[in-house]
Amino acid sequence: MTERVRAHVMIDGVVQGVYFRASTAKMAMSLKLDGWVRNLPDGRVEATFEGPAGAVTQAIAWVRTGPPRAVVESAEIQFEEPRAEHGFRIL
């Protein structure tokens, strides 16, 4: 079985009002990842990606750029223990 990993990501920059959450959810679902994405009151976007290591790595690479109108200044990544989430949600 493929190793399951979980990444908790905090994305800063121009990441709200640019379809970041919807685009992130579409990308994550295309990679068959579980987790969620949400806007934070301070203007950042927070997300978790859980699934095979290779797919999580691809998701992390994607959020470093984001959708076309986004301007990502930084993305902090912390790896956590998988929580057996199912599906990907926009919170």
Tokens of 75: 């993305």
Instruction: Assess whether 39 carries a catalytic annotation.
Output: yes
Catalytic pick from 4, 6, 38, 39?
39
Closest CA to 25 of 59, 58, 55: 59
* The dihedral formed by the CA atoms of 35, 38, 44 and 48, expressed in degrees to the nearest 10: -10
Q: Among this protein's residues, is 44 annotated catalytic?
A: no
Contact 72, 66 (CB under 8 A): yes
Choose, from 4, 21, 69, 89, the residue flagged as catalytic: 21
Q: Which residues are catalytic?
A: 21, 39
